[in-house]
Amino acid sequence: MKVVQVNKPDESAPAATSDAPGESGAAAAEEKPLSCRALVLTGFGGYDKVRLQVKTLERPRLKAGEVLVRVKACGLNFAELLGRQGLYELLPAPPVTMGMEGSGVVEAVGEGVKDRKVGDRVIAMSRSGMWQELVIVPANYTFPMPEQMSFEEGAAIPVNYITAYMMLFEMANVRPSKSVLVHMAAGGVGIAVTQLCQTVPDVTVFGTASASKHETIAQGGVTHPIDYRTKDYVEEIRKISPKGVDIVLDPLGGSDTQKGFNLLKPLGTLIVFGVANCMTGQKKNLLAMAKTWYNQLSLNMLKLMQANKAVCGFHLGYITDEQLISRAMVTLLELYRQGKIKPRIDSCYHFEEVTDAMKRMHERQNIGKVILLPEPKKEEDKPDAEPGEIVEKTEAAVSEKKEEAKEEVKAEKD
């Protein structure tokens, strides 16, 4: 699942082919340079470490089996928030373009590519590098988009829905009349899990989310929404289902993994697929990491055998089998065509607004997928501030800084 960043074209690679047969590499080289907007992680830390860069590039040369895609929409995932803090081991060292999924239009195809052509609308995947206007990816990691699918929906499908599909059907083997607990039920994976559970008869879904999101996730198929901020979700589940649940999908880690294991019915399955409890602020929090690690579930094989339960781990980034990915995507796109799944787009942000996008996800404000748009934000979309407003905002900012300084001094004294 390797993406080639087009800001470093391989000069020795075969020339890209286009819809004009017989076009030579020399002719391609004579074309005008390309402009490419990209979101680059410049170092580990806060939101300011992800910066928009605009580069002028020579037209990239494609190797055999590759395609050049002009990206129209990208997905934002929790992995990118971890990556910004230096907590995602698969992300190359900065400076690096992040992003694992996107959708767009094929602009050129390399030698040997038979099932993609210029102009095709495709979904594309990679471990990193998708947050830019132009990407080179292996053709077998692109998937034709259904005609009725928008670019935003296309960018919302791969990571969240493949994760949900593989956990439910490949690992947990969800069947009719089973029960599933999914945390962060209003997030991209949570909504994907809920929709996929509805493709199986009589599956009960318990979903944790803040109270303001309950109406939306209930309409989406969550049988029992639970406010994790004000209630003990273990107690709430036990009230409804004293024996517990059949499947627990845990993106939190730490003490929640232990709670999930204890909630399982005999022959139940716990799948851990994240460590969101490590994320407590903009920057890496060593105390939160230590606490999560200390409270992590610890089992020996004898105890596991006696419990009659299964514990699994899932990490999409470490699945290198192309057939597994392709098979899941083909199934998901068919479910989309049938109207059985449909990504919920929470919000769309232009590359210039990436800080707002990351902040929205980090603060758990989103219901569904947060999308990034490479296209520049149009001037008419930008709110015009009156001179008086600018003065007011400046004064407010200064006042806010003063208050923060006072609080810091007070905290130091305390």
Contact, 190 vs 183, CB < 8 A?
Answer: yes
pLDDT digits (tens, 9 = 90+) for 212-244: 999 999 999 999 999 999 999 999 999 999 999
pLDDT for 298 beyond 90 = no
- Average pLDDT over the chain reads 85
pLDDT for 375 beyond 80 = yes
DSSP assignment letter at 239: H
- The pLDDT value recorded for residue 55 is 82
Contact, 343 vs 367, CB < 8 A?
Answer: no
Rounded distance between C-alpha atoms, residue 205 and residue 58, angstroms:
51
The HSE-up count of residue 235 (CA atoms within 13 Å, CB side) is 5
- The pLDDT value recorded for residue 59 is 78
- The pLDDT value recorded for residue 292 is 64
pLDDT digits (tens, 9 = 90+) for 151-163: 999 999 999 999 9
pLDDT for 354 beyond 90 = yes
pLDDT for 297 beyond 80 = no
Tell me the backbone φ, ψ of residue 79, rounded to 5 degrees. -60, -35
Residues 371, 164, 366, CA angle at the centre, nearest 5°? Answer: 35
Residues 359/162/348/207 CA torsion (nearest 10 deg)? -60
pLDDT for 22 beyond 50 = no
- The pLDDT value recorded for residue 139 is 96
- Over range 376-381, report the average pLDDT: 78
Rounded distance between C-alpha atoms, residue 135 and residue 33, angstroms:
15
- Read off the pTM: 0.82
- Strands, E, within 355-395: which ranges? 369-373
Orientation of helix 255-263 relative to helix 233-240, angle to 10°? 10
pLDDT for 31 beyond 70 = no
pLDDT over 90 percentage in the chain? 70
Pairing of strands 345-350, 369-373: parallel
Please tell me whether residue 13 adopts helix, strand or coil conformation: coil
pLDDT for 164 beyond 90 = yes
- Over range 378-407, report the average pLDDT: 48
How many Cβ atoms are within 10 Å of 48's Cβ, its own excluded? 11
* Class of the CATH-defined domain 34-157: alpha beta
Assigned CATH for 161-342 = 3.40.50.720
User: Is the C-alpha dihedral spanning 17, 20, 22, 24 positive or negative?
Assistant: negative
pLDDT digits (tens, 9 = 90+) for 41-93: 999 999 999 999 998 777 788 999 999 999 999 999 999 999 999 988 899 99
Q: What amino acid is encoded at 316 in this protein?
A: L
- The pLDDT value recorded for residue 278 is 61
- The pLDDT value recorded for residue 5 is 53
Q: 25-29, 109-113, 176-180, 262-266: which has the minimum mean pLDDT?
A: 25-29
- Over range 240-257, report the average pLDDT: 95
Report domain extents, the chain: 34-157, 161-342
Orientation of helix 188-197 relative to helix 158-165, angle to 10°? 50
